[in-house]
Amino acid sequence: MGTHASTVAPGTAGYTVSSYSCGPSHTRADIALRGVYEISKVLAVPGRLEATLTNVLTLLSSFLDMRHGLVTLLDEEGAPTSVVGIGWSEERAHLWMGRQPERAVAQIYDTGMPVVVHNMERSALFPDWAFDGPLPPGARVSFIGVPIKDRMKVVGTLTIEQIWDETTTYHAADEDVRFLTMVANLIGQTVRLLKLVQRDRERLMDQHRLLEKGFEDGSARRARSAEPRRNRSAGAGEEGADEQGDIVGSSQALREALQRIRRVARSHSAVLLRGESGTGKELFARATHDFSPRAKKPFIKLNCAALPESVLESELFGHEKGAFTGAVAQRKGRFELADGGTLFLDEIGDTSQAFQVKLLRVLQEGEFERVGGTQTIKVDVRLVCATNRNLEEAVAKGEFRADLYYRINVVSVRLPALRDRREDIPQLAREFLRRFDQEHHTKHELSPSALDVLESCYFPGNVRELENCIRRTATLSLDDRIDARDFACRNDECLSAMLWKTAVSDPFPIVQPGPREEQGGVAPEREQGSRGDAPAIPLHRREPDRDMPLDNVKVSRAELLDALEGAGWVQAKAARLLGLTPRQIGYAIRKYDIEVRKF
């Protein structure tokens, strides 16, 4: 790599880089590693792709002795769609198209391999090339080009020119090729992500056009598809459920949550769904939409944790034609697609402060501009958010904006964990097994001993973990009838139990169940705490000693505080952890004069 660093030229979006050299304190490997690190940070910054690429080239010139640098993006036929160089600007974009070396780029595209030319003046790849400045005596201009790939397909090239003299060796060029290949891989991942986002936008636009033309909305289709399941459940002797879409269960905790959803749905207030991971927050968000006057309008969802911050803005607000590479037409964002309906933002607690500021403006003003546009767009959207984080604690730590918290937390609905609705486990298990059989054209049934195992499990992952357990057991089962010995936890193979046992952030530590007994008996519990002195919580629930007098409640203040902390200061949960009744836990709290925290 180079022995000196070039200075950033004006007009590069204000990006500044430090100077690096191959002095005694820096090895070539160190400089390459630093270069990859700095360039990855540039690619993570949101903005138009061409501006980002010109910043990458400018930064690359700080780590290589390079005279020119170009990034050429290609279409399916290998024709250039965009060419970006150092100093690229919107006004002069057309000039860069004529600077790309067509023959060299075509060879890189056809072979998918790097191209190194030691002397461009003597190479057939550059027939009309001429040096546009004074060249030192004995020096020659070399060319290095590497492919930019999306998986195994070439989608572009990264090319540079260098001035060599007799001190330059092929070994140095070989290391430059490796360095440029790593940079090209980073660029390829960025281009691929933008293509995925564009395809997702097109799919949403197609759905939106169908809704505008009067096609039936998804909630009506789901209601009809759910009707046979309700009929089958009633025919099997299970308790019938009210109209609740894909939400399965008839427990009191579930009914209370649904009743609250129905009351909330009548208004246009923002809703915050809170609960542990795997409790079905998306289903409850859809139920909020289906029960509301907006049911015939779109229901649009977005997982805020699934996309990097650099694309969240364009994903939510859309973009104008030409806003970035691949933006061949105007696209509506999810706010615009959800106009008149409901927008569900999952994992809202994992967003950055910068994104929270932009979201707050839309909630306050009801208006926004598309990326690359200046026209203000007004929308009428009912916002439903979900999180499994403690937002109050995040606000106190400065990780979540307090003003946004009050905007999205108009009505809060806490969803019950599966351990709080254990009577729904048989119905859920049969429904998951029915779906599995329908997908795989098989037929299974759960024996009473299998249901006993499921009802005794703790299921820290809630409904999602139960579904995975059913699918795993049905896949590995040798018979059509699933019994207790078919479950992984009865064979010391429950990976989920090990995961939750070692999860430090889990507020409900559990232990690995002991070896199974013969004839499918219940495995003994092994009291092993998962962290510190926290009380060990087995996979199988403890039954409280309801005959224990209040005066004989044997629990220390430390144990009581640990249980309350682990249960999120829900006394009923803390009572189950300690094997006590809620009345006894209340007595112990008064006995030790503990101030109960409220969230």
**Location of each CATH 1.10.8.60 domain in the chain:** 419-533
| Stretch among 67-76, 148-157, 221-230, 440-449 having the lowest mean pLDDT | 221-230
CA dihedral 98, 101, 107, 108 (to 10 degrees): -90
Instruction: Give the integer Cα–Cα distance in Å for 328 and 325.
Output: 8
CATH class for the region spanning 28-196: alpha beta
Q: Which pLDDT score, from 0 to 100, does residue 9 have?
A: 36
Query: How far is C-alpha 459 from the chain's CA centre?
Result: 23
pLDDT band at 140; cut points 50, 70, 90: confident
User: Tell me, what DSSP letter sits at residue 110?
Assistant: H
Q: Give CB contacts under 8 A, 24+ apart, made by 400-403.
A: 400/349, 400/356, 401/353, 401/356, 401/357, 401/360, 403/360
For residue range 166-189, what is the model confidence (pLDDT) as tens digits?
665 544 667 888 889 999 998 988
Name, of 36-50, 151-165, 233-247, 284-298, the range with top average pLDDT.
Answer: 284-298
Residue 9, phi then psi, degrees to nearest 5? -80, 160
For residue range 487-499, what is the model confidence (pLDDT) as tens digits?
888 776 776 655 5
Nearest to 158 by CA among 104, 216, 210: 104
For residue range 208-241, what is the model confidence (pLDDT) as tens digits?
666 655 544 444 444 444 444 433 333 333 333 3
Instruction: Give the integer Cα–Cα distance in Å for 432 and 418.
Output: 15
CA distances, 256 to each of 245, 259, 466, 508, 547 (Å) = 16, 5, 22, 24, 30
Q: Is the pLDDT of residue 457 over 50?
A: yes
CB-based contacts of 96, cutoff 8 Å, min separation 6: 70, 83, 84, 85, 88
Does residue 297 or residue 541 have the better pLDDT? 297
Tell me the torsion sign for CA atoms 520, 522, 528, 531. Answer: positive
- 75's tokens: 């279409």
User: Tell me, what DSSP letter sits at residue 553?
Assistant: -
CA geometry: angle at 432 spanning 429 and 434, to 5°? 105
Q: Which pLDDT score, from 0 to 100, does residue 260 have?
A: 92
Nearest to 311 by CA among 13, 52, 84: 52
The structure's pTM equals 0.49
**Location of each CATH 3.30.450.40 domain in the chain:** 28-196
CA dihedral 562, 563, 564, 567 (to 10 degrees): 120
Name, of 57-71, 494-508, 529-543, 553-567, the range with top average pLDDT.
Answer: 57-71
pLDDT band at 415; cut points 50, 70, 90: very high
419-533 fold: Helicase, Ruva Protein; domain 3 (1.10.8)
| Stretch among 51-60, 195-204, 486-495 having the lowest mean pLDDT | 195-204
**Location of each CATH 3.40.50.300 domain in the chain:** 219-416
**Percent of the chain whose predicted confidence (pLDDT) is above 90:** 19
Q: Is the pLDDT of residue 321 over 90?
A: no
219-416 fold: Rossmann fold (3.40.50)
Instruction: Give the integer Cα–Cα distance in Å for 409 and 402.
Output: 10
For residue range 32-42, what is the model confidence (pLDDT) as tens digits?
788 888 888 88
> Beta strand 367-369 with 115-117: parallel, antiparallel or unpaired?
unpaired
3-state class (DSSP) for residue 372:
coil
